[in-house]
């Protein structure tokens, strides 16, 4: 490379880094504005960043890595239930044999609805997911009466009877007609987590699925659990 061309190469690299940084900033700003307007239309509160939400939930994808962030936090009500949603991210680091460290940022779209009473740990995820990622201690695999449902979903719960109560035939039928989601019932929260970032329409659809799941839980389940510790 000619010596005179070296400064031009450096300037080009600096300009490229600056362009990438500006593009990232512009995309983040656009997303903030989108969710600000979305929250306003739904009557929800929007907060740019509230990392306390990173410690609210347990299990996948929470508790891993560092530099955990909760951005574009939405809070309000959805069909008379308290709701929350946010962009969640954390970082992991790996070092190769030469001592070079690589940082990876993991991003998830989170939404949750409050439940009227605490329930034992329950997970409903697409079939095959729990074969790749561990689940919470003490949870058992549950086979339900619907073979179609068993082929599409994996159900785990610390109390098997609860899984049958939470998933009556009508609820299973409704869930089979929707995109498969990663769902966890834990304490007084019904949580959905999906990789990447959600759009307003995806968020509403996921909250609708969580609401459908909770609407199908028989009243006796809530009455039996009221007053118990989360």
Mean pLDDT by 10-residue block, N- to C-terminus, for the chain (230 residues)? Answer: 61 58 68 95 97 94 96 97 98 90 96 96 85 54 94 94 95 96 96 95 97 96 75
Q: Are 9 and 31 in contact (CB under 8 A)?
A: no
Q: How far apart, in whole angstroms, are the C-alpha atoms of residue 54 and residue 71?
A: 10
Range of the domain at 2: 1-43
Distances (CA, A) of 183 to 95, 143, 178, 188, 207: 33, 17, 13, 13, 11
Q: How far apart, in whole angstroms, are the C-alpha atoms of residue 92 and residue 13?
A: 26
Which pLDDT value is given to residue 9? 62
Same domain, 204 and 221: yes
Q: Do the domain assignments include residue 230?
A: no
Which pLDDT value is given to residue 49? 96
Mean pLDDT rounded to a whole number for the chain: 88
Quote the pTM value: 0.84
Which pLDDT value is given to residue 225? 87
Which pLDDT value is given to residue 8? 58
Tell me, rounded to whole angstroms, the distance of Cα 219 from its chain centroid. 27
Same domain, 169 and 201: yes
Same domain, 91 and 2: no
Which pLDDT value is given to residue 223? 92
- In the chain, how many domains are there? 2
Quote the tokens at residue 63. 């508790």
């Amino acid at each position: 490379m000619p010596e005179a061309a070296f400064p031009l190469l450096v300037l080009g690299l600096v300009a490229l880094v600056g362009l990438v940084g500006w593009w990232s900033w512009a995309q983040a700003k656009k997303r903030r504005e989108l969710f600000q307007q979305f929250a306003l239309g739904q009557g929800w509160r929007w907060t740019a960043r509230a990392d306390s939400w990173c410690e609210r939930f347990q299990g996948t994808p929470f508790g891993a890595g560092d530099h955990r962030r909760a951005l574009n936090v939405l809070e309000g009500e959805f069909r008379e239930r308290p709701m929350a949603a946010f962009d969640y991210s954390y970082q992991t680091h790996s070092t190769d044999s030469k001592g070079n460290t690589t940082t990876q940022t993991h991003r998830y779209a989170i939404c949750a609805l409050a439940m009227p009473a605490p329930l034992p740990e329950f997970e409903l995820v697409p079939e095959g997911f729990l074969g790749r990622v561990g689940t919470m201690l003490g949870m058992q695999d549950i086979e339900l009466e619907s073979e179609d449902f068993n082929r599409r979903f994996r159900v785990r719960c610390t109390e098997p009877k609860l899984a049958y109560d939470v998933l009556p035939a009508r609820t299973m039928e409704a869930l089979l007609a929707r995109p498969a989601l990663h769902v966890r019932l834990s304490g007084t929260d019904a949580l959905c987590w999906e990789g990447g970032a959600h759009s307003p329409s995806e968020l509403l659809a996921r909250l609708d699925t969580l609401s459908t799941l909770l609407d199908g839980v028989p009243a006796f389940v809530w009455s039996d659990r009221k007053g118990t510790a989360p």
